[in-house]
Chains A and B, each alone.
Chain A
Amino acid sequence: MNPKLSFTKNFLDLLSSMRFAVSLLSVLGVASVIGTVLKQNEPYENYIVKFGQFWFALFEYLGLYDVYHSVWFLVILLFLVISTSLCIYRNTPAMLKEWRTFKDHATEKSLRAFSHQATFNLTADYADTKQNLLHFLNAKGFKYKIKAQEDGSELIAAKAGTHQRWGYIFTHVAMVVILFGGLLDGNLPFKVQEMLGYKRIETLDLPVSKVPAESRMSVSNPSFRGNMTLAEGSTHNVAFLRVRDGYLVQELPFAVGLKDFRIEHYATGQPKSFESDLVIFDPELKEPITKTISVNHPLTYKGIAIYQSDFQDGGTGLKFNVWNLFSPSDKSRELSGAIFDEGALGEGDDLLRVEYNDFRKFNIINMSPDGKGKPHNVGPNVTYKLRDSRGQAIEYVTYMQPMQIDGKFYFLSGMRETVQEDFRYLRIPADEDLSIDGFMGFRAVMLDASKYQEIAKRIAKKSLEDSANPEIKKQFELSLVRLLTIFAQGGYSEVAKVIEQSVPEKEREASATTYIKMVNIAAYEAYNMGLELNKKPLLKNTSETEALMRDSLNAFSDMFFYGAPYYLQLNQFEHKEASGLQLTKSPGQKWVYLGSVILVLGIFSMMYIRERRIWLYLKPSANEVHFAMASNRKNLDFEKEFSLYREQLAGIVS
């Protein structure tokens, strides 16, 4: 034999073997696991942070960030198609033969070698018995063929359930059809063009018109799955396809406009529906098509399905009151902007650029301390970045309305320096009118050195006897002023620093307690002075006031870690939303569905049709009827059936 030929044959044998197919299924399973454990298609910076440069590069080389579109994964799928196709090619003829044949070449001898067989004595009339046997086979749903033997005997070969054989063919054909459909919908055309150097992904954030031709996919691209973000009132005619750490621009044969986007909410605040009123503009249309889409209800036009996938801000207009946290003024100034726009605060070296990133009208948060309570809507928030002249940015998220925490209300504003961090929150206690003004007035007084004397005087008047030594009184006032001066420079941590420097270790705790007490008393006066200036009713000395002082002092101290001298209090907004659409062209879908139907038919016929064969060898010369039965799948049902038939046939024959 030609060794080359035998190698090819061996190779093909291997490819179409069960061993190979099952191994492939296992490899496919393991490969799929990787893609679920490693989060796919994240921004590449996240991977670098997570794995470090070395592993990041290795994983990138292996295509682990998009396993299911990597070359090696596609190769496994391809091998699966080839293996399954070869299996079909090799086995189908035999299967069809089994399906058709009655196996009427069986001889008496071969039948006696069966594991399930019996011999009956023929006592009744031969012709009647034969008729009855055929009747029996009919009743049991068997098809039969009678073959006369040379010695005058007759063989009745019968079969039932041979359609089961189609089950094998169907299931395997289905796999090929489904994988073919899947391949049609993969990005194979792009992959080939990318390898040949015709196309490349764009990784820079460019305006659509600036994206070069080699990163654009034409209208004729047979299949794609892309995204489009449409702000209310705008129209686009391209979608973006995300590929690895970049994107491609997909041109569309029509333009999509968004008239209105709506979110409905349940009474509990959870979102109930997202709806977009779309308009399709196409020169081929006399009238633009208008249609409302929502989740689970897409619109299909020219083979492209448009789905409601998510939503984001579309450039909401914002008006802020800006407080300069470290100025002894209790007045704010106005600032307006819009999401995706930029603004500026301060000047010269202290200039900060404000980048308005996101606005969310509803925030469903679980505020209960143990996490068991029901989440509820805490109102709008705005996310922005403050970037200094060196390009360093701090990200802020600020809630518009005060939030209730443990029965008290606070204005919350979070800050973080990198995306990986959690936000650290500044909690500013709201005043009696649920406004931030009370705290801001207090803050202004606390920062105003010219007011310290007055505060000290008021405290001295309340806490010292009128008859007290003026010298002691003066000393007392002086130390209060000194304490307030230190506190104004950095809150509690500044006070702690001073204590550490000037007080012996043993006495530190005692003096800290004293200082905290004094600061609290001073805060009470300062707060009231702030209220006086704004002609607001003064605080009473109650436990709520004590708590308010504690919270105000904490907020004052935390201010120094806020990262910026500005607090942007959202005052008004003009909500503008953008709808996140997904656009899909999927020519493989009908193949996948066809394959699925074939698969289900195949599985059911393979498992629930049982192939059985019966041979009845009628031998008048010996007054014998020989019965043999076989199935390609021997199980309990078959055993039961054989016993039953043996008994019933015995009744017929004798």
Chain B
Amino acid sequence: MSNTLDYQQKTLLQRLNWQDWLYALVVVAGSIFAFVKYAHYMDAYEVAFLFGAAALFSYLGWQWKSLGKLVIAVGVLSLASIALYQGDQTRATEVFFLKFLISSQSAIMWMNVLFVLAMVTYWFALYRRSAFTANVASALTWVAVLFGFVGLMVRWYESYLIGVDVGHIPVSNLYEVFVLFCLITALLYLHYEQKLNTKQLGGFVLLVINAAVGFILWYTFDREAHNIQPLVPALQSYWMKIHVPANFVGYGAFSLAAMVALAYLLSSKGVLTSRLPNLEILDDLMYKSIAVGFAFFTIATILGAMWAAEAWGGYWSWDPKETWALIVWLNYAAWLHLRMVKGLRGPLLAWWSLIGLIITTFAFLGVNMFLSGLHSYGTL
């Protein structure tokens, strides 16, 4: 019977070591601290979200150790930044470390710079077939994500410095959600990169992330969109805290799928074939990210409907954003049908998910630019 243990799969709890438990302890302790200090600002749902988030990030950190390290690092840097603020917003441009490193604005700028550097490095690694350079690129992406999250966390804090009634989670306008989009897309990619060892794809995925970075820069310098604005009444709801992030997991995953599709199409045409992972891996990755995206997009749309029922008097108003969300959903539903039921594979699906990105982008950005409706929070 001795050989039975070789194949015995350990359950998650059995696999945890003391670092994992310590990590969870820190996360839970952090949320208890936040609860004790800020409970009077939160309603029952938000308290549930706080502890739900603690449980979620404990679990995610256990499943994916690198994420756990990121969570800790984001926490430490954000707290350091907040400590340097000393409750005074003007210090953001006065204190050296804040001004040049970890004030909300600077951290987000570092994120932008690091994403650009990471992309260049990924492409260089692909060109030189250098594993070391690819590792550097991967590390740069991780640090970019770290700075991005620190930027958002500190921005959250900063919004309360402007005024207690102004303070809100930074997912309320186009500028903030673009940062969120970069971070989520990068994290989804990093997850698969680690799991499937596909560092060759980094250059592709960072194309779409850096398109978003370009937008952030234009939006910052031309429109001064980085200024924190108070929330309009419709957005003052706990729903925002779950609806928006869920949506961006969807958008991020669809974008990731489209970039993998691009690599697939190039590779199948003989371009970079020898440098890229083989087609089966690309196909599998494309499917997995569309599946994740579809699941989260469905949840986000349902949460949105529930929020709409509370804010606008109906769960479905055929508002342009809602309608385009439906179109995106139908698009990927059809994609998944063809793949799962008909067993379709190959360039057709890759083309489809690439075109799907155009539809998704329109739903995400085009609706705000060209169509008006209830969702007019992020007008250009």
Binding site for B on A (CB under 8 A): 18, 21-22, 25-26, 28-29, 32-33, 35-37, 39-40, 67-68, 132, 135-136, 139-141, 182, 185, 225, 266-268, 270-274, 294-298, 305, 307, 309, 372, 582-584, 586, 589, 592-593, 596, 599-600, 603-604, 606-607, 633, 635-637, 648, 651-652
CB-based nearest B residue for A607: B291
Nearest Cβ in chain B — how far from A633, in angstroms?
Answer: 7
CB-based nearest B residue for A633: B340
Q: Are B287 and A270 in contact (CB under 8 A)?
A: no
**Complex CA–CA separation, A128 to B318 (angstroms):** 65
**Additional pairs, 11, CB under 8 Å, beyond known A272-B233, A296-B234:** A29-B326, A32-B323, A266-B230, A268-B229, A271-B232, A307-B311, A584-B314, A589-B315, A603-B298, A635-B287, A636-B280
A589-B233 contact given A32-B327, A140-B7, CB 8 Å threshold: no
Chain B residues whose CB sits within 8 angstroms of the CB of A604 once the complex forms: 295
Which of A21, A36, A296, A600 makes the CB contact (< 8 A) with B237?
A: A296
Q: Are B313 and A139 in contact (CB under 8 A)?
A: no
B204 within 8 A of A: no
**Complex CA–CA separation, A37 to B230 (angstroms):** 30
**Complex CA–CA separation, A132 to B3 (angstroms):** 9
Q: Are A270 and B302 in contact (CB under 8 A)?
A: no
Which of B230, B233, B237, B284 makes the CB contact (< 8 A) with A274?
A: B233
Interface footprint category on B: 35 or more
Chain A residues whose CB sits within 8 angstroms of the CB of B3 once the complex forms: 132, 651-652
CB-based nearest A residue for B234: A295
Chain B residues whose CB sits within 8 angstroms of the CB of A18 once the complex forms: 337, 341-342
**Complex CA–CA separation, A22 to B340 (angstroms):** 13
B178 within 8 A of A: no
**Complex CA–CA separation, A25 to B341 (angstroms):** 15
Q: Are B337 and A22 in contact (CB under 8 A)?
A: yes
Q: Are B7 and A225 in contact (CB under 8 A)?
A: no
Q: Are A140 and B9 in contact (CB under 8 A)?
A: yes
**Complex CA–CA separation, A633 to B305 (angstroms):** 32
Chain B residues whose CB sits within 8 angstroms of the CB of A589 once the complex forms: 309, 315
**Complex CA–CA separation, A177 to B143 (angstroms):** 46
A29-B327 contact given A22-B337, A36-B320, A266-B166, CB 8 Å threshold: yes
Q: Are B318 and A40 in contact (CB under 8 A)?
A: yes
A132-B4 contact given A273-B236, A296-B234, CB 8 Å threshold: yes
**Complex CA–CA separation, A26 to B234 (angstroms):** 32
**Complex CA–CA separation, A272 to B236 (angstroms):** 9
Q: Are A25 and B333 in contact (CB under 8 A)?
A: yes
Chain A residues whose CB sits within 8 angstroms of the CB of B233 once the complex forms: 271-274, 294-296
Q: Are A648 and B7 in contact (CB under 8 A)?
A: yes
Chain B residues whose CB sits within 8 angstroms of the CB of A225 once the complex forms: 313-314
Which of B163, B236, B323 makes the CB contact (< 8 A) with A295?
A: B236
Chain B residues whose CB sits within 8 angstroms of the CB of A295 once the complex forms: 233-234, 236, 311
CB-based nearest B residue for A167: B340
**Complex CA–CA separation, A212 to B337 (angstroms):** 51
CB-based nearest B residue for A36: B320
Q: Are A582 and B323 in contact (CB under 8 A)?
A: no
Nearest Cβ in chain B — how far from A388, in angstroms?
Answer: 35
Nearest Cβ in chain A — how far from B155, in angstroms?
Answer: 17
6 smallest beta-carbon distances between A and B, as pairs: A582-B313, A295-B233, A307-B313, A36-B320, A636-B284, A596-B302
B88 within 8 A of A: no
Nearest Cβ in chain A — how far from B32, in angstroms?
Answer: 28
B338 within 8 A of A: yes
**Complex CA–CA separation, A37 to B294 (angstroms):** 25
Which of B320, B323, B337 makes the CB contact (< 8 A) with A21?
A: B337
What are 26 pairs between A and B in contact, CB < 8 Å? A18-B337, A18-B341, A22-B334, A25-B330, A25-B334, A32-B323, A32-B327, A33-B323, A36-B324, A37-B371, A67-B318, A294-B233, A295-B311, A296-B310, A298-B310, A305-B313, A582-B312, A586-B309, A589-B309, A589-B315, A600-B295, A635-B284, A635-B287, A637-B284, A651-B3, A651-B7
Which of B9, B165, B333, B340 makes the CB contact (< 8 A) with A139?
A: B9
CB-based nearest A residue for B240: A296
Interface string of B271-289 (1 = CB under 8 A from A): 0000000001100100100
B70 within 8 A of A: no
Nearest Cβ in chain A — how far from B252, in angstroms?
Answer: 17
B316 within 8 A of A: yes
Chain A residues whose CB sits within 8 angstroms of the CB of B318 once the complex forms: 32, 35, 40, 67-68
A270-B310 contact given A32-B326, A596-B302, A600-B299, CB 8 Å threshold: no
Nearest Cβ in chain B — how far from A597, in angstroms?
Answer: 8
Q: Which of B309, B312, B313, B314 has the most CB of A within 10 A?
A: B313
B89 within 8 A of A: no
**Complex CA–CA separation, A21 to B336 (angstroms):** 13
Q: Are B342 and A593 in contact (CB under 8 A)?
A: no
Chain A residues whose CB sits within 8 angstroms of the CB of B94 once the complex forms: none
Q: Are B163 and A267 in contact (CB under 8 A)?
A: yes
Q: Are A139 and B305 in contact (CB under 8 A)?
A: no
Q: Are B165 and A372 in contact (CB under 8 A)?
A: no
B367 within 8 A of A: yes
Chain A residues whose CB sits within 8 angstroms of the CB of B341 once the complex forms: 18
A599-B302 contact given A33-B327, A36-B324, A586-B314, CB 8 Å threshold: yes
CB-based nearest B residue for A595: B302
Interface string of B159-200 (1 = CB under 8 A from A): 000010110000000000000000000000000000000000
CB-based nearest A residue for B163: A267
Chain A residues whose CB sits within 8 angstroms of the CB of B294 once the complex forms: 603, 607
B8 within 8 A of A: yes
Chain A residues whose CB sits within 8 angstroms of the CB of B324 once the complex forms: 32, 36
**Complex CA–CA separation, A464 to B280 (angstroms):** 98
Nearest Cβ in chain A — how far from B342, in angstroms?
Answer: 7
CB-based nearest A residue for B331: A29
**Complex CA–CA separation, A627 to B116 (angstroms):** 50
Nearest Cβ in chain B — how far from A302, in angstroms?
Answer: 16
Chain A residues whose CB sits within 8 angstroms of the CB of B295 once the complex forms: 600, 603-604, 607
Chain B residues whose CB sits within 8 angstroms of the CB of A268 once the complex forms: 229-230
**Complex CA–CA separation, A599 to B305 (angstroms):** 14
Nearest Cβ in chain A — how far from B233, in angstroms?
Answer: 4
CB-based nearest B residue for A602: B298
Chain B residues whose CB sits within 8 angstroms of the CB of A599 once the complex forms: 298, 302
B12 within 8 A of A: no
Chain A residues whose CB sits within 8 angstroms of the CB of B311 once the complex forms: 295-296, 307
Nearest Cβ in chain A — how far from B5, in angstroms?
Answer: 9
Chain A residues whose CB sits within 8 angstroms of the CB of B291 once the complex forms: 607
Q: Are A309 and B326 in contact (CB under 8 A)?
A: no
Chain A residues whose CB sits within 8 angstroms of the CB of B314 once the complex forms: 185, 225, 584, 586
**B129-146 contacts to A (CB < 8 Å):** none
A298-B313 contact given A36-B320, A592-B305, A596-B302, CB 8 Å threshold: yes
